[in-house]
């Protein structure tokens, strides 16, 4: 005869193994197709939530070089709430130093540099998405210091698209560089930058997915994000942009 606590423990372990199986499946079905990437994020996030893990969709734990891949032991049901609290507390998945160069609306060299040695050239659209994600934590800190309404840790894809529309409409900084932006474009670019990071030996977890509908963020401390050569428009411009777009939601 199984007691209630035993039933709960068995159910929890079963969910954990389903989660592991889903992670393996996601590795096979992820592609550069935007709809597939979006579906993979949502499916893995749903199973992750049921299993009580702290991992968000799109994350793939990085193994140290030369380390053997070991299957993690199922956490106990008592450990699950603590994992969720840690995730909600804003812990980051990397300690990478991230530098984004290139000013909007100019012919500056657009580049993503990580830890001073890994370098990726950026197209105008991906450069814009990364700048939006990079300015979010800086503006969130600025809003907190000023006592303004807080900004979210993760930026919803719909908000990213709304900012892109604002910046690419006729008469704006990037007029004509992105016609009819939609959410699928963002998913496609996120999928591609993660693949580029992985191929270059970087950590794809730098672009972190939040809970369903939460969106994305750069998963490193705000002090690790350098925008010295991309600080035009300035922080005040971006803070007003985030507030404008998020107030409409």
> For 132-155, what is each residue's pLDDT tens digit?
999 999 999 999 999 999 999 999
CB of 161 closer than 8 Å to CB of 244: no
Dihedral sign, CA of 205, 235, 149, 168? negative
Going by C-alpha positions, the residue among 161, 162, 202, 194 that lies closest to residue 57 is: 194
CB-CB neighbours of 196 under 10 Å = 17
pLDDT level of residue 12 (50, 70, 90 thresholds): low
pLDDT tens for each residue of 78-133: 333 333 323 334 599 999 999 999 988 888 899 999 999 999 999 999 999 999 99
Q: Are 59 and 171 in contact (CB under 8 A)?
A: no
Q: Specify the pLDDT at position 37.
A: 55
Which pLDDT score is estimated for 123?
Answer: 93
- Round to whole Å and give the CA distance between 67 and 132: 35
Q: Is the pTM of this model over 0.85?
A: no
Per-residue pLDDT tens digits for 157-209: 999 999 999 999 888 878 888 989 999 999 999 999 999 999 999 999 999 99
To which residue do tokens 């040695």 refer?
A: 117
Indicate if the pLDDT at residue 216 is higher than 70. Answer: yes
Radius of gyration of the chain (CA): 19
Q: What is the pLDDT of residue 80?
A: 33
pLDDT at 214 over 90: yes
User: 2 versus 115: which is more confidently predicted?
Assistant: 115
The number of beta carbons lying within 10 Å of the beta carbon of residue 243 is: 15
How is residue 123 written in tokens? 């197209």
Task: Supply the pLDDT for residue 79.
Answer: 33
Q: What average pLDDT does range 223-247 have in this prediction?
A: 90
Q: Is the pLDDT of residue 9 over 80?
A: no
pLDDT of residue 140: 97
What beta strand segments (E) does 92-192 contain? 98-101, 111-114, 118-121
What the block records as the tokens of 213 is 């509908």
> Which two structure tokens, joined as six digits, stand for 229?
């050569």
**pLDDT the model gives residue 20:** 59
Residue 248 clears pLDDT 90, i.e. is over it: no
Q: Quick check: 26 and 45 in contact, CB under 8 A?
A: no
User: pLDDT for 30-63, tens place per residue?
Assistant: 444 555 555 555 555 554 444 443 333 333 333 3
Q: Kindly report whether the peptide bond that precedes residue 124 is cis, defined as omega within 30 degrees of 0.
A: no
Distance of CA 52 to the CA centre of its chain: 20
């Amino acid at each position: 005869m199984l007691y209630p606590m035993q039933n709960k423990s068995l159910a929890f372990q079963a969910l954990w193994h389903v989660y592991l199986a889903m992670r393996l499946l996601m590795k096979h079905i992820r592609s550069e197709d935007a709809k597939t990437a979006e579906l993979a994020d949502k499916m893995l996030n749903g199973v992750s939530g049921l299993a009580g893990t702290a991992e968000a969709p799109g994350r793939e734990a990085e193994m140290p070089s030369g380390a053997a891949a070991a299957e993690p032991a199922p956490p106990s049901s008592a450990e699950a709430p603590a994992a969720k609290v840690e995730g909600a507390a804003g812990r980051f998945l990397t300690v990478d130093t991230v530098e984004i160069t290139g000013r909007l609306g100019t012919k500056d060299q657009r580049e993503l540099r990580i830890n001073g040695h890994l370098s990726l050239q950026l197209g105008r659209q991906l450069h814009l998405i990364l700048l939006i994600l990079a300015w979010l934590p800086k503006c969130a800190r600025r809003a907190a210091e000023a006592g303004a309404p807080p900004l979210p840790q993760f930026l919803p894809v719909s908000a990213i698209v709304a900012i892109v529309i604002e910046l690419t409409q006729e008469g704006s900084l990037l007029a004509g560089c992105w016609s009819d932006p939609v959410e699928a474009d963002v998913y496609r670019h996120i999928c591609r930058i993660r693949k580029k990071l992985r191929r270059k030996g970087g950590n794809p977890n730098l672009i972190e997915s939040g809970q369903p509908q939460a969106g994305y963020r750069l998963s490193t401390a705000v002090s690790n994000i350098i925008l010295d050569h991309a600080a035009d428009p300035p922080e005040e411009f971006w803070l007003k942009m985030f507030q404008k777009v998020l107030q409409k939601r």
